[in-house]
Amino acid sequence: MIGIINILKPPGMTSQQVVGWVRRLLKVQKAGHTGTLDPGVPGVLPVCLGRATKVAQWLSDQDKSYRGELTLGMTTDTQDGFGSVLEEQDAGGITTGRIADAFSKFTGNILQVPPMVSAVKHQGKRLYQLARQGIEVERAPREVTIHRLEIVKISGQGSPHPRILFDITCSKGTYIRTLCADLGVYLGTGGFMSYLIRTKSGPFALADAMTLEELRAMAEAGRSVETLTPLDTVLNHLPAIVVRDSALVRVQNGNPLYQAGVARGAGEAVETGDLVRLYSSFGQLVAIARAVENPVYKDQFYYQPETVF
């Protein structure tokens, strides 16, 4: 079984637990997800099966979208609603204008310090493992990109703890809980992430996601294959190149594809550093490769396979 299933991860399960559940249900040896969701966070979790696990790294690099809620006037030690309250104050005086101004300041390229409850490694250990031991370490800030940050609704204005519902599209590695905490600091009231759901991961959307119960029903009906998204569907944003039969074995062995081995190419659509799809003459996806400038013929590329199927 080869393909990707768009799973609606339920709250209360880790991403790896979901992957294990799917693997056992469908009796596949290889399975993996394309980007961790915290145990308490529901939403889109694409699960790759079989040889599709080879594209997980490319899918995990794609942008993600979320709907979240920021509650002002309180800070917690985990930056979300599962932690202990560290500080509380009355944020009832915050105006819509100040909130809108704060949100505008956190778009584009910004720096974030990974939270101690994250899976980032420090000297071989996950930060959340250190946090459970009561250890806090220095973390270097990382640059992330917020492509879109829109206020959907503000509730409870005038109360001590107003809530802001928002939509966000961001780069890989963005911590929404940290964004909420940073917004609270900017507003001078403190704040924490009180709700989050992932609505999109790369090409996979919440509206098309399948619950674990729905997947089980499909499997019991012998219709598991209908739940799979083919590799071509999720990689169709990459230019396609057809390999000549004479060069196919070399490519399958991970060797570079030079122009002489290209039957049909993507032409001017490809630039140095771009990823492309390599196909056999009979339409089989052979590899994902990167365009590299030819040191001998400067006006030509060669294509170095990075993932071979």
Name the residue type at position 231. Answer: L
Catalytic residue among 38, 208, 232, 274: 38
Name the residue type at position 114. Answer: P
Token pair for residue 54? 């080879």
Alpha helices in 149-238 (DSSP H): 176-187, 212-220, 231-235
Q: Which phi and psi (to 5°) does residue 133 adopt?
A: -90, 5
Interacting residues of 252 by C-beta distance below 8 A, sequence separation 6+: 286, 287, 308
Alpha-carbon gap, residue 98 to 119, rounded angstroms: 33
- Three-state DSSP at 98 gives helix
Alpha-carbon gap, residue 173 to 176, rounded angstroms: 9
Q: How many CB atoms lie within 10 A of CB 167?
A: 14
User: Is 61 annotated in the active site?
Assistant: no
Alpha-carbon gap, residue 120 to 198, rounded angstroms: 20
Token pair for residue 148? 């879109």
Continuous segment of H or E residues that includes residue 75: strand 74-76
β-strand pairing of 275-279 with 240-243: parallel
Alpha-carbon gap, residue 22 to 17, rounded angstroms: 9
The C-alpha R_g of the chain, in whole angstroms, comes to 23
| Residues involved in catalysis | 38
